[in-house]
Amino acid sequence: MTNRLSPGDDAPEFRLPSSDGSDVSLSDFRGRRVVVYFYPAAGTPGCTKQACDFRDNLAELNDAGFAVVGISPDKPAKLAKFVADEGLTFPLLSDENREVLNAWGAFGEKQNYGRTIMGVIRSTFIVDADGKIEKAMYNVRATGHVAKLRKDLKV
């Protein structure tokens, strides 16, 4: 079974390549709250809906003090195309070897059309300004998730 993070846990540090070619670390966001979300694959219908929801709500999240970062096992070139195609305005990071996905409990067994498979578990985390997990949400739905998140965060 995959280890799951809980509120109060230290958020596992990462340094990953982004869609724009730069490296991004969790520590880059120290001092502010950050939404870190994990998704299966850039350009798929659910992942596109979720990314566009974050894009469309980014100003309100930023105004409330939240940064947003998306992480998937896609290659940086695929992420760059996804960013360009959808006009995304927040970092998308590539975790091709799935080390970060595993460290955050966002890769493991999941149900897909009634079958148990290994894959990315769509998950969202709120990391506080000190690098601690404030909220851990596993198996979230792509549609409506950002609206629910905003409600939970009172944004």
Handedness of CA 56, 139, 34, 60 (dihedral sign): positive
Q: Which tens digit of pLDDT belongs to each residue from 104-132?
A: 999 988 877 788 888 899 999 999 999 99
Specify the amino acid at residue 64.
A
Q: Please report which confidence band the pLDDT of residue 1 belongs to, taking 50, 70 and 90 as the band edges.
A: very low
pTM of the model: 0.94
How far, in Å, are 20, 65, 96 from residue 30 at the CA level? 21, 12, 24
Domain map (residue ranges) of the chain: 15-153
**Topology of domain 15-153, CATH:** Glutaredoxin (3.40.30)
| The pLDDT value given to residue 2 | 59
Q: Which tens digit of pLDDT belongs to each residue from 2-52?
A: 589 999 999 999 999 999 999 999 999 999 999 999 999 999 999 999 999
Q: Please report which confidence band the pLDDT of residue 92 belongs to, taking 50, 70 and 90 as the band edges.
A: very high
Q: Residues with catalytic annotation?
A: 47
Q: What's the token pair of residue 59?
A: 């100003």
Question: Mean per-residue pLDDT for 85-111?
Answer: 94
β-bridge partners, 38:
71, 123
Using the predicted structure, report yes or no on whether residue 74 has a pLDDT greater than 90.
Answer: yes
